[in-house]
Amino acid sequence: MEGIQKRVEMKAYRHIVIPLFIASILAFLDRVNVSYAALTMNQDLGFTGQIYGIGAGIFFAGYVLFEVPGAVWAEKWSPSKWIARIMVTWGLVCVGMAFIKNDTQFFIARFLLGACEASLYPVIYASVIPRWFLSKDRPRAIALTLTSLQVSAIIGAPFAGWLVGVTFAGFKGWQSLFILEGGVTVLFGFVVYFWLKDDPEKVSWLEPEEKKFLRESLAKENAAKTENKKFTVMQALTNFEVIKLCLIYFLWVTGFWGFGFWMPTVLKAASGWSNMAIGWLTVPPMVMSLIAMVYIGNSSSRTGEKRWHGAIPLMIGAIGMLIGAFSSNSYIAYLSVVLAAIGVYGPFGVWWSYPTTFLTGAAAAGAIGLINSVGNIGGFIGPYSIGYLKDITGSFSLSYIYLSGSLFLSALLMLTLKEKK
C-alpha cells in the first residue's frame, strides 16, 4: 500500500504541482513587478510614495471583492479551467500596465489585476491539491508549490533590476517589464487549459490500482470529516476557527506585503546600491526563505504538528523587521531582510494545509477564499502604511516597527489554534 501511495504522490507532483508551481511564479511576478518598475516608473510618472503605496495596495481591493465568489464558482465548475481563464485575463491586464499615464490609470489597472488574480490560491489550496494529495501530504505539496514565490524573486529580481534601466523597442524599461511578464502569463494560461486536470479517474498517467487507491483514501478522509461535522459554505464562513484564521492571516499579510512591495526601495535607501545590485541582492534572502519553507513543510508533514511550525518563523520575521527599524548600517539592514524573508515566507505550506483538516469541498473553498480575502486587506494596509509613514517621518523606521508588531501578534494568535492532524 505504501508503494502505491508513493507512486501516486510522485506522479501528482509531476502532473499537478509543476503546472501550479509555474502558474504561481507568474502570478507573483505579475503582482510584484510593480515594486521593481517603481525604481524608475515613479520618477517618470511623478508618483509620490503615497501614490505608489495606494497603487501597490489597491490590488488587494479587487482581490478581496472577487476571491470568495471566484473560489466557490471554480469548485462548482472546473478548478483547472478556472485557473487557465484567470491567467489569461490577469496577463492581459499586466500588459496594459505598460501604457498607464497617470495615478488614476495606475489605480484602475492595479485594481483590475487584483480582481483577475483573485481566487488563484484558494482554488489551489481547497480545490486542486485536495483532489490529488492525502491530508498528511498536503503541507509538503503546498510548500513545494509555494516555493514558486521565492523562485519568482530569484529569477525575476535580477531580470527586473536590469530591465528597468534599459530602453527596448521604444519602450522604457518598466514598460517592457509589464509587457514581457504579462505576455508570458497569457501564453501559459492556454498551456494550463490542456495540462492541468481535475479528476483522477480521467487521467491516463495513473494506473487503475493507483486511481482506486487515491479514490478510496480520499473518500475515507472526507467521510471522517463529515462524521465530525459537515459544513455548509455559510457555516464555514461564520465558524469561529475560520474567523480566527482570518485575523491571523490579516496580521501576517500586513507584514508580508509591506515587506514585499517596499523591499527594493528600502534596500536602495539604506545602501545606495544600484538597481541591478538590488535585483541580485534579493536572491540570497529568497533562497534562504525557500529552504526554510521546504524544511518547515516537510517537518510538519512528518510530525503532524502545525501551530509551532507557523508561529516560530513569524517570530523570526518580527525580529528581522525590528532589527531593520533601528539599523542605519546597510549590512545589518540586509541581514534584517534575510530574517524577514524567512519569517514571512516560511510557514505558507503549513498554513494552507490547516483549513482542509476540517473542511471539504465548497465549504473549504469558500473559507479559504474568505481567509485569503480578509488577510489580503493587510496587503493594502501594509504597503500604504509604509508609504504614508515614510512621507510624514522621512524614514522607514516607524513603518518597520509597525510591521514587526503585526507579525508578532499573528504568531501569538497562531498558537491559540486547535491542533489538527
Asked whether 12 and 142 are in contact (CB, 8 A), the reply is no
What is the rounded distance in angstroms from the CA atom of residue 221 to the CA atom of residue 361? Answer: 12
Enter the C-alpha cell of residue 29: 511576478
Q: Average model confidence (pLDDT) for the chain?
A: 83
**What residues does 217 pair with on adjacent strands?**
none
Q: Who wins on pLDDT, 389 or 320?
A: 320
Percentage above 90 pLDDT, the chain: 21
Question: In the structure, what pLDDT confidence band is assigned to residue 236 with cuts at 50, 70 and 90?
Answer: low
SS3 of residue 171 by DSSP: strand
Residue 94: predicted pLDDT? 94
Instruction: Give CA separation, 103 vs 41, 97, 156, in Å.
Output: 11, 12, 25
What is the rounded distance in angstroms from the CA atom of residue 237 to the CA atom of residue 235? Answer: 5
Backbone angles phi, psi at 171, to 5 degrees: -100, 145
Domain ranges of the chain: 2-414
**Residue 7, burial from CB neighbour count under 10 angstroms (0-12, 13-18, 19+):** middle
pLDDT over 60 (residue 229): no
- Of the listed ranges 54-68, 250-264, 314-328, the least confidently predicted one is 250-264
What is the rounded distance in angstroms from the CA atom of residue 44 to the CA atom of residue 277? Answer: 21
Question: In the structure, what pLDDT confidence band is assigned to residue 189 with cuts at 50, 70 and 90?
Answer: very high
- Of the listed ranges 21-30, 196-205, 217-226, 231-240, the least confidently predicted one is 231-240
Position 208, amino acid: P
Residue 384: predicted pLDDT? 77
What is the rounded distance in angstroms from the CA atom of residue 383 to the CA atom of residue 328? Answer: 21
Q: Which of 12, 54, 61, 28 is nearest to 345 (CA)?
A: 28
Residue pLDDT, tens place only, 355-384: 777 766 667 777 777 887 788 788 778 877
- Report the Cα 236 to chain-centroid distance in Å: 22
pTM of the model: 0.74
Asked whether 333 and 270 are in contact (CB, 8 A), the reply is yes
- Of the listed ranges 56-60, 87-91, 308-312, 328-332, the least confidently predicted one is 328-332
159-168: b (≥16 Cβ within 10 Å) or e:
bbbbbbbeee
What is the rounded distance in angstroms from the CA atom of residue 255 to the CA atom of residue 338? Answer: 14
- 208 Cβ contact partners less than 8 Å away, ≥ 6 residues apart: none
Question: In the structure, what pLDDT confidence band is assigned to residue 336 with cuts at 50, 70 and 90?
Answer: confident
pLDDT over 70 (residue 413): yes
- Of the listed ranges 33-37, 316-320, 341-345, the least confidently predicted one is 33-37
Question: In the structure, what pLDDT confidence band is assigned to residue 261 with cuts at 50, 70 and 90?
Answer: low
- Of the listed ranges 150-164, 261-275, 290-304, 324-338, the least confidently predicted one is 261-275
Q: Which of 327, 336, 350 is nearest to 285 (CA)?
A: 336
Q: How many CB atoms lie within 10 A of CB 295?
A: 14
Enter the C-alpha cell of residue 100: 498607464
Q: What's the first-to-final CA gap in the chain, in angstroms? A: 21
SS3 of residue 168 by DSSP: strand
pLDDT over 60 (residue 1): no
Question: In the structure, what pLDDT confidence band is assigned to residue 184 with cuts at 50, 70 and 90?
Answer: very high
Residue 131: predicted pLDDT? 86
**What residues does 168 pair with on adjacent strands?**
171
What is the rounded distance in angstroms from the CA atom of residue 259 to the CA atom of residue 252? Answer: 11
| CB-facing half-sphere around the CA of 19: CA atoms within 13 A | 24
Residue 262: predicted pLDDT? 67
The predicted model gives 151-157 an average pLDDT of 79
Question: In the structure, what pLDDT confidence band is assigned to residue 398 with cuts at 50, 70 and 90?
Answer: confident
Question: In the structure, what pLDDT confidence band is assigned to residue 100 with cuts at 50, 70 and 90?
Answer: very high
Q: Which CATH number fits domain 2-414: 1.20.1250.20, 2.120.10.30, 3.40.720.10, 3.40.50.300?
A: 1.20.1250.20
